[in-house]
Amino acid sequence: MNQDMSSAFPHGEGISRETMITIPCTQEGAPARLVTIFGSVAPNHEKHVHYIFDLGGPGYSEIVLTADRPVASIARQLPAAAWYERELHNQYGIEITGHPDLRPLILHENWPDGVCPMVDPVDNVPWSKRDYRFLQVQGEGIAEVAVGPVHAGIIEPGHFRFSVVGDTVLHLELRHFYTHKGTEKLFEGRSATDAVMLAESVSGDNCFAHAVCYSQAVENACGIDIPPRALAIRLIGLELERLVCHISDTGGLCTDVGFGVAAAYATRLKESLLRESAQCCGTRYWRGIAVPGGLRFDLDSDRVAQLGQAVAQTFRDFSEIARMILETPSIQNRFETAGVLSGEAARDLAVVGPVARASGIDLDVRRDHPYGLYRKYQIDVPRTHYGDVMARARIRIAEVAASAQMIQEVTRSLPDGNVFTPVTSQGDIRGFSAVESPRGELCYWMEAFGGRLTRCHVKSPSFQNWPAMPFAVEGNIIADFPLINKSFNLSYSGCDR
């Protein structure tokens, strides 16, 4: 139970009376990596702020602050905290002092001032027309280009405000949360075992990672272990999702530079895996398989073996395509030096996943905070320090190879036995779990009373990585923006929740 924190922080203890936390340090003395910040309301109506850090060991560390007074911002020391604190201010009405930018983040102009959905009644909230000011870049020849929320293609909505001189982007400001569906609030009151369906709908293309992560949080909270066969099948599902996502992203990058042949090959490979999944488990994206306690139903071993063979074939085909992509001069020309995210910016904003690894950060939840069957595997974490589009493409290509190999190993030695351990949750339970989703570190923190959720927080890798994207775009030409954005491949719905 390396990831379990519930026993370390029984209700009420560990709560400091200070209005500002002391940022913890790793063993080497560097400031710890911020994982997430979120609010909660105790039964006595006290508001709490939870900070979760990664100190470098196998566990995570949580600090809980009572927000009975204004809370001092830590965004100046840890820029990664900026969006989380804005969210707290917006959703919980917690006063944050010393924050550089407290404009509404999640609730747009249509929300009236002073409504904080996580603590206030939200029936029939009136429509309003507030003001929102974008940062203005002034000077000779500077123009603003507004893009979105509706984009030209089959993509999720979000707004980008570019300040440009000619073709060159001086500044990019993001305006997101168009797909905000109040998911965290919607968790409250649901049965802790059934709410996994909601977790599956946070980010549709990473739904299995969300389902597993939520399930693990509940399992950690109840202190139960799930059968080995369920762990093995979960690993197959998680790695398959990564494989599908990375193949699709590599194809997407080709689309954005007009290399249609490779893009079409990638969509073919992706579709072949989705069809194989439908044969194996009944749904194309592994929806409705993982539940707290293991799996909803067992998968046929022969079908799983077939899936392993399909992955092997897909990997052989993909290797050829990848070689074609990496060796084509016109692709190299577009990918290399485009959209550089410096290691410094990446560390300041505590980015995660392939984006972090492409900018030199050595980070992978599967290796650093192992869970499930990953405890038995040696995970090699590919890393480069270039931080450009090519670096992110290379990281993905390397991870496809690792995932394909892991799936084949596990499908060859699938344990027998049942796939479900009943979950019994009485009284007050609390659990935390982290999973390396295809986009990076995904965390769930849940709290339930008598089997009903009282709070569920989702730390999505996209929420963490979006603020870093503008830093990669600055100095590039606006025409390269779609390519750079695609190389990050962030989820809007996962971020907006």
Partner 1 sequence: MIGDIIGQSLRHPSRLIPEEALLGNCDGSRMPDVIADRLTPAIAHRLVEVCPTTALGINEHEGRAFLTLSYGHCIGCGKCLESGEGAVVTAKDFHWCGITREQAVRRWDIDGRVEIATAGPSAEIARGQIHALLQRALNVRQLDAGSCNGCEAEITALTNPYYDLERFGIHFVASPKHADMLLVTGPVTRNMADAVKATYEAVPAPKLVVAVGACGCSGGIFAGSHAIVGAVDSVIPVDGYIPGCPPTPAMLVSGILEVLRRHLAK
As a whole number of angstroms, the distance between CA 93 and CA 82 comes to: 15
| Contact yes or no for 280/307 (Cβ under 8 A) | yes
* Amino acid, res. 261: V
Residue 36's DSSP bridge partners are: 52
Closest CB to partner 1 among residues 373, 469 = 469
Q: Quick check: 185 binds partner 1 (CB under 8 A)?
A: yes
Token digits of residue 282: 């009944």
Nearer to partner 1 by C-beta: 181 or 412?
A: 181
156/436 with CB nearer partner 1: 156
386 binds partner 1 (CB under 8 A): no
Residue 111 or 371 having the CB closest to partner 1: 111
What is the C-alpha separation between 283 and 338, in angstroms, rounded? Answer: 37
Burial call 248-266: b when 16+ CB within 10 Å, e when fewer: bbbbbbbbbbebeebbebb
Identify the burial level of 413 via C-beta atoms within 10 angstroms of its C-beta, where 0-12 means exposed, 13-18 middle and 19 or more buried: exposed
69 binds partner 1 (CB under 8 A): no
Nearest to 14 by CA among 430, 393, 443, 344: 430
Among 101, 278, 333, 452, binds partner 1 (CB under 8 A): 278
Cα 228 to Cα 171, 176, 280, 472, distances in angstroms: 50, 40, 19, 42
Q: What is the residue-wise DSSP string for 69-111?
A: SPEEP-TTT-GGGHHHHHHHHHHH---EES-S----SSS-TTS
The reply to whether 179 sits near partner 1 by the rule CB under 8 A is yes
For partner 1, which residue of 13, 113, 123, 140 counts as binding (CB under 8 A)? 123
Supply the minimum distance, in Å, between the C-beta of residue 278 and partner 1.
Answer: 3
The span from the CA of 462 to the CA of 156, in Å, is 13
Contacting range for partner 1; rule: CB under 8 A; set: 319-327, 391-399, 434-442, 472-480: 319-327
Question: At its nearest, how many Å lie between partner 1 and the CB of residue 248?
Answer: 8
Residues sharing a CB contact under 8 Å with residue 94, sequence separation 6 or more, in sequence order = 39, 47, 49, 67, 70, 71, 88
Q: How many CB atoms lie within 10 A of CB 309?
A: 12
Report cis status (omega within 30 of 0) of the bond before 70.
no
Q: Which is nearer to partner 1, 108 or 171 (CB)?
A: 108
| Distance of closest approach, residue 149 Cβ to partner 1, in angstroms | 5
**Tokens describing residue 359:** 């900018």
Torsion of CA 293, 295, 297, 303, to 10 degrees: -150
Residue 74 or 247 having the CB closest to partner 1 = 247
Task: Please report how close the Cβ of residue 184 comes to partner 1 at its closest, in angstroms.
Answer: 10
Asked if residue 273 binds partner 1 (CB under 8 A), the reply is no
- Say if residues 473 and 339 touch (Cβ distance below 8 Å): yes
Convert residues 242-271 into a mask of x (bound to partner 1 by CB under 8 A) and - (unbound). Answer: -------------------x--xx-xx-xx
Give the interface segment with partner 1, choosing from 172-180, 232-240, 374-382, 395-403 (CB under 8 A): 172-180
One character per residue 197-216, x = contact with partner 1 (rule: CB under 8 A): xx--xxxxx-x---------
Phi and psi based region of residue 406 (left: phi greater than 0; alpha: psi -120 to 50; beta: remaining): alpha
Shortest distance in whole angstroms from residue 36 CB to partner 1:
20
First to last CA, the chain: 28
Give me the least distance between CB of 254 and partner 1, in Å please.
13
Looking at beta carbons only, is 173 or 348 nearer to partner 1? 173
Contact between 463 and partner 1 (CB under 8 A)?
Answer: no
Joined together, the tokens standing for residue 47 give 């508001």
Size, binding site for partner 1 by CB under 8 A: 64
Candidates 38, 53, 92, 492: give the one binding partner 1 (CB under 8 A).
492
Nearest distance in Å: CB 210, partner 1: 10
Rounded to a whole number of angstroms, the minimum distance from the CB of residue 180 to partner 1 is 5
Q: Does 277 bind partner 1 (CB under 8 A)?
A: yes
DSSP 372-423: GGGGGSPPP----S--SHHHHHHHHHHHHHHHHHHHHHHHHT---S--B---
CA distances from 20 to 51, 60, 72, 89, 318 (A): 11, 20, 5, 15, 50
Question: How far, in Å, are 46, 186, 211, 342 from residue 452 at the CA level?
Answer: 20, 12, 17, 44
Question: In this chain, which of 84, 285, 315, 466 binds partner 1, going by CB under 8 A?
Answer: 285
Is residue 303 involved in binding partner 1 (CB under 8 A)? no
Determine, following the binding rule CB under 8 A, whether residue 481 of this chain makes contact with partner 1: no
- Tell me whether residue 79 or residue 461 sits nearer to partner 1 (CB atom): 461
Binding mask 413-452 for partner 1 (x = CB under 8 A): ----------------------------------------
Is 122 or 145 the residue whose CB approaches partner 1 more closely?
122
Instruction: Supply the minimum distance, in Å, between the C-beta of residue 122 and partner 1.
Output: 3
Tell the smallest beta-carbon distance from residue 244 to partner 1 (Å).
9
The yes or no reply on residue 111 touching partner 1 (CB under 8 A) is: yes
Contact residues: partner 1, CB under 8 A: 107-108, 110-111, 117, 122-123, 125, 149-150, 152-157, 177-183, 185-186, 194, 197-198, 201-205, 207, 261, 264-265, 267-268, 270-272, 274-275, 277-278, 282-285, 287-288, 296, 317, 320-321, 323-324, 327-328, 491-494
